[in-house]
Amino acid sequence: MRINVLFFAKLREEVGENKLSINLEEFSSATIKDLFDDLSTNYKRLSLYKGEIKAALNQEMVKDWNVKISDGDEIAFFPPITGG
């Protein structure tokens, strides 16, 4: 299955990409948490922010990172929001 992963703000700069299209068979990922751990092995500096990173699945904030990923999903990782 194929998913899109987006990065914003500081994380976009750390990863050096704003979007990755990933074929999940290449990863062992099944949940948001697994995906993040897999990405952290490729993009080591991501793990520096692990405690503060927020995630969204199909544009909805994800509180529980154990939520499963499905084909075509859009997953975004970003630092805490500083709007307004």
Partner 1 sequence: MTVFVQNKDFKAGETINRLSKENTTGAVVSFVGFVRSFYDGQSDAKDMKLEIEHYPKMTLKSLEQIEQEARLRWSINNVEIIHRFGELKMNDQIVLVAVSSSHRKEAFLACEFIIDYLKTEAPFWKKEITDSKEEKWVEIKEADINKKNNWL
- 72 token code pair: 């075509």
The residue range among 7-15, 28-36, 38-46, 62-70 that interacts with partner 1, by the rule CB under 8 A, is 7-15
**19: phi then psi, degrees, rounded to nearest 5:** -150, 135
- 18 token code pair: 């704003």
Sites for partner 1 among residues 42-81 (CB under 8 A) = 56, 59-61, 74, 76, 78-81
Q: Does 21 bind partner 1 (CB under 8 A)?
A: no
Element (H, E) at 37: helix 32-42
Using CB under 8 A, list all residues that contact partner 1: 6, 8-10, 12, 56, 59-61, 74, 76, 78-84
